[in-house]
Amino acid sequence: MTPGKFITLEGVDGAGKSTHLGFVADWLRGQGREVIVTREPGGTPLGETLRELLLHRDMDADTELLLMFAARQQHLAELIRPALARGAWVVSDRFTDASYAYQCGGRGIATERIAVLEAWVQRGFAPDLTLLFDVPPEVAEARRSAARTADRFEREADSFFSRVRNAYLDRARAEPGRIRVLDARRSIDALQDDIAQLLEELA
Ligand code: TYD
Tell me how many domains the chain contains: 1
Domain that holds residue 193: 6-202
CATH assignment of the domain containing 21: 3.40.50.300
* Full-model pTM: 0.96
Q: Ligand 1 centre from 93 Cα, in Å?
A: 8
What whole-number percentage of the chain has pLDDT above 90? 89
Query: Which numbered atom of ligand 1 lies nearest the CA of 99?
Result: 22
Nearest protein CA to atom 11 of ligand 1, as residue: 153
**What does pLDDT average to over the chain?**
96
Q: What is the pLDDT of residues 148-182, one digit of tens each?
A: 788 999 999 999 999 999 999 999 999 999 999 99
Burial grade of 133 (CB within 10 A; 0-12, 13-18, 19 or more): buried
Q: Ligand 1 centre from 116 Cα, in Å?
A: 21
Q: What is the pLDDT of residues 19-73, one digit of tens each?
A: 899 999 999 999 999 999 999 999 999 999 999 999 999 999 999 999 999 999 9
Residue 34 maps to a domain: yes
Residue 88 maps to a domain: yes
Q: Ligand 1 centre from 94 Cα, in Å?
A: 7
Q: Ligand 1 centre from 60 Cα, in Å?
A: 16
Whether ligand 1 lies within 6 angstroms of the CB of 8 is answered as no
CA–CA dist 134, 137 (Å, integer): 9
CA–CA dist 116, 139 (Å, integer): 34
Measured distance between the N- and C-terminal CA atoms of the chain, rounded to whole angstroms: 15
CA–CA dist 69, 114 (Å, integer): 9
Q: Ligand 1 centre from 40 Cα, in Å?
A: 7
Q: What pLDDT, on a 0 to 100 scale, did the predictor assign at position 22?
A: 96
Whether ligand 1 lies within 6 angstroms of the CB of 105 is answered as no
Query: Which numbered atom of ligand 1 lies nearest the CA of 102?
Result: 19
Burial grade of 85 (CB within 10 A; 0-12, 13-18, 19 or more): exposed
List own/partner pairs for 152-161 with CB under 8 A and 24 or more apart.
Answer: 152/54, 152/55, 152/56, 152/57, 152/58, 153/13, 153/55, 153/102, 154/13, 154/14, 156/106, 160/106, 161/12, 161/13, 161/14, 161/106, 161/137
What confidence category does residue 12 fall into, taking pLDDT thresholds of 50, 70 and 90? Answer: very high
CA–CA dist 177, 168 (Å, integer): 14
1 has a pLDDT exceeding 80: no
Assess contact for 34 and 4: CB atoms under 8 A. Answer: yes
Phi-psi region of 19 (alpha: psi -120 to 50; beta: other; left: phi over 0): alpha
Query: Which numbered atom of ligand 1 lies nearest the CA of 152?
Result: 14
Nearest protein CA to atom 12 of ligand 1, as residue: 41
Residue 159 maps to a domain: yes
Kindly state the average pLDDT of the residues 102-128.
Answer: 98
Residue 1 maps to a domain: no
Assess contact for 88 and 33: CB atoms under 8 A. Answer: yes
Residue 72, beta-bridge partner list: none
